[in-house]
Structure 1
Amino acid sequence: MPVRAVRRWWSEVGPYFMGPYRDVVIGFGVMTLLYYRISYGGKLKEPSH
């Protein structure tokens, strides 16, 4: 059932991601990656025991 819901959702919003908003989605992904790299140095903090 979740797969069907995802397919239905993608059929509705997919054209927006593949159309004019594609560059926005790609830019958001790149900025998120850069923020992660700057904030955490590319590594997750070790859990303290």
Structure 2
Amino acid sequence: MSNLFETMTTDNLLKLKDRLEQAIELSRSCSIDLLERHQAVEEALTNRL
């Protein structure tokens, strides 16, 4: 894969880096949201049992 990056322009590499950072941040946000929902479901089940 490094060969692919070697052929990319610096501008395109910077754009790709920015997009990857945005994707990572979105993924973290989604993971936190999913964890919070999971905990809420566990709490609801605990309250019923």
When you count helix as a share of all residues, which structure comes out higher? 2
> Computing the radius of gyration over CA atoms, which structure comes out larger, 1 or 2?
2
Using structure 2 for the length normalisation, give the TM-score: 0.45
Using structure 1 for the length normalisation, give the TM-score: 0.45
Q: Which has the higher contact order (CA 8 A, sep 6+)?
A: 2
